Amino acid sequence: MKLTHLDEHDRPKMVDVSAKEASTRIAVASGIIEMSRDAYDAIVNEKAAKGPVMQTAVIAAIMGSKKTSELIPMCHPLNLSSIHCDIEELPQLPGFKMYVRAKLSGRTGVEMEALTGVGIGLLTIYDMVKAIDKAMVIRQIQLESKEGGKSGNYQRQHQKT
């Protein structure tokens, strides 16, 4: 299998997308942060010493999505048209599940932007309550769906537990 980020001499390269047709591309990613009950309660009751955790994590996720090409070497700088972030409370864990939806009209996909946004958003939650719980676990950062582009649409099939 030929890797697209290597040239004919196996040197790293950024893929040339100039011949691709521009189309609307959307990607949704998610991830989970699991924590102690004390950390969870501090967040939902807005009692964290560093300020409003959820709002800060959403801003961080948006910023992370926008900065993806500066963090991941072969990603193209993209002119994103929309980034939307949701955080679902998971009191049974306890923890949170973050979703990031990235959108653009362009020649390359936005999966990495959605995934990076989730990672940065969850790391921000960790940073803001690590004084309460250093044992938090970030897991299951994954692509949920993508639309557009040559490879077509993708939808993660969730398994029933």
Active site residue ranges = 127
Quick one: CA torsion of 60, 64, 67, 73, rounded to 10 degrees? 150
* C-alpha of 154 from chain center: 16
Measured CA to CA, the distance from residue 6 to residue 156 in angstroms comes to: 28
Quick one: CA torsion of 105, 110, 113, 115, rounded to 10 degrees? 150
DSSP bridge partners of 12: 6
C-alpha to C-alpha distances, 73 to 46, 69, 77, nearest whole angstrom: 37, 7, 10
C-alpha to C-alpha distances, 115 to 19, 36, 94, nearest whole angstrom: 25, 24, 22
